[in-house]
Amino acid sequence: MDRRIVTAAALDLESPGRRDYLVALPHDGIWGDHLIPLSVLVGPDATPGKGLVAFGSTHGNEYEGPIAIKHLLGEIDIADVRGRIILVPVLNVAAFRAGARDSVLDDGVNLNRAFVADAGRIPSLGRITHRIADFVRRTIWPHVHVVLDMHAGGEVAQFALGPSFHPIPDPEQNRRIEQTARWFGSPIVLVYQNETPGLLTSEAERLGKITIGAELGWGRSVQPDGVRYARHGIRAAMVHWDQLYGEIAPIAHHADGTQRKISIVDRRCVVIAPFDGHYEALKKPADAVAAGEVVGYLHDFQHLDAAPWPVRSEVDGLLAAQAWGARVTQGQHIAITGQIEDWVR
């Protein structure tokens, strides 16, 4: 399959048919360009401002999303496309090339903190990562109403696999987002605090879009279930929001009724490391946890004869995430318990 190298201004996201591009954004360090892979499929029922975009690798060491989207690129027939589908298997090409969370070979910026005012528009926010954010804002947002952003925990955290979103004040937008999240089939759907500036998903939510993030793996590896959930969830969103013809059945925990919605908005859900140490997990993600229960130990090897510090959950629920690597730093969130919530009716 041939991909045309084009500037963002030359992209055609409206004409019927399929087009496969490499979108050129100028490189900061050499006479050249970063090339973002993007495919657009437009069917007969496409309408202005409506469509679905799926992003992989907003961070450079997240691989379930890119692999799931790569599979979908080979599976979706243009004849089955009803509206507008935009697939971007690797959004943060600078970080992906480095195999790191941030664009460490370029500007050192975290793309999922780069959706700030004037990103890509002023010199102080004008390097590659902020220009990727500007590309998404100016080129992709106007054409879509469904946004799927596939993440993983990298080397920092081991998550219970599943899609995520923030508390949404608009009841109808919240209902649509939760409905979309459930179709991933994962054991959990995560609601988390919206306190960090510059998130891609936060901006899409504020714009009123049906927006899903997801944590699908950890350890810079590829979790088979993470790929499976992403692949199914993205395709289900295409079908249910009228961008792809066909029908799709629930899978896994969605199908058998064991899927749970958990919230980590309450600050008591988080256990913070009080000192540098080594984390010993006693639980696995998605395990049931009771308030006061020890879910792990933090060991201080500078004080070998001291008892390990018990990591206790303050709330009842399910273990949403915990430190992935044994070595943790003071202030790191080393265990997070999600409180079980009812589904929206």
Give the residue from 245, 263, 281 where a domain finishes.
Answer: 263
- Residue that terminates a domain, selected from 219, 242, 263: 263
Give 10-residue mean pLDDT values along the chain (345 residues).
91 98 92 96 98 97 97 98 98 94 93 95 94 97 98 92 97 98 98 94 98 96 97 98 97 98 98 98 98 98 96 98 96 98 93
Q: Are residues 289 and 314 in the same domain?
A: yes
Whole-prediction pTM: 0.96
Angle, helix 224-240 to helix 64-75, in steps of 10 degrees: 50
Check whether residue 296 and residue 206 sit in a common domain. Answer: no
256 and 307 both lie in a single domain: no
Q: What pLDDT score does 1 carry?
A: 57
pLDDT at 155: 87
- What single letter denotes the amino acid at residue 87? L
Q: Which residues contact 203 (CB under 8 A, 6 or more apart)?
A: 115, 137
Give the CATH number, domain containing residue 93: 3.40.630.10
Is residue 109 domain-shared with residue 258, that is, in the same domain?
yes
> Residues 6 or more apart from 198 whose CB is under 8 A from it?
110, 112, 113, 114, 115, 116
**CA 250 from centre of chain:** 21
Is residue 256 domain-shared with residue 271, that is, in the same domain? no
Q: Are residue 141 and residue 280 in the same domain, yes or no?
A: no
User: What's the CATH number where 309 sits?
Assistant: 2.40.50.100
128: phi then psi, degrees, rounded to nearest 5: -60, -45
pLDDT at site 141 = 98
- Per-residue pLDDT, 224: 97
Position 250, amino acid = P
Is residue 229 located within the same domain as residue 290?
A: no
Within this chain, do residues 184 and 237 fall inside the same structural domain, yes or no?
yes
Can you give the chain as a three-state secondary structure string?
CCCEEEEHHHCCCCCCEEEEEEEEEECCCCCCEEEEEEEEEECCCCCCCCCEEEEECCCCCCCHHHHHHHHHHHHCCHHHECCEEEEECCCCHHHHHHCCCCCCCCCCCCHHHCCCCCCCCCHHHCCHHHHHHHHHHHHHHHHCCEEEEEECCCCCEEECCEEEECCCCCHHHHHHHHHHHHCCCCCEEEECCCCCCCCHHHHHHHCCCEEEEEECCCCCCCCHHHHHHHHHHHHHHHHHCCCECCCCCCCHHHHHCCCEEEECCCHHHEEECCCCEEEEECCCCCCEECCCCEEEEEECCCCCCCCCEEEECCCCEEEEEEECCCEECCCCEEEEEEEEECCCC
Quote the CA–CA distance of 112 and 65 in Å, as a whole number.
Answer: 15
The two three-digit tokens of residue 134, written as one number: 């500007």
In terms of domains, do 279 and 162 share one?
Answer: no
Q: Which of 301, 264, 262 is nearest to 279 (CA)?
A: 301
Instruction: Looking at the structure, tell me whether residues 211 and 158 fall in a common domain.
Output: yes
Q: How many CB atoms lie within 10 A of CB 304?
A: 7
Task: Point out the domain boundary residue: 230, 263, 296.
Answer: 263
- If asked whether residues 192 and 304 sit together in one domain, one would say no
Structural domain count, the chain: 2
Domain containing residue 315:
267-341
Residues 197 and 311 in one domain: no
- pLDDT at residue 109, as a whole number: 95
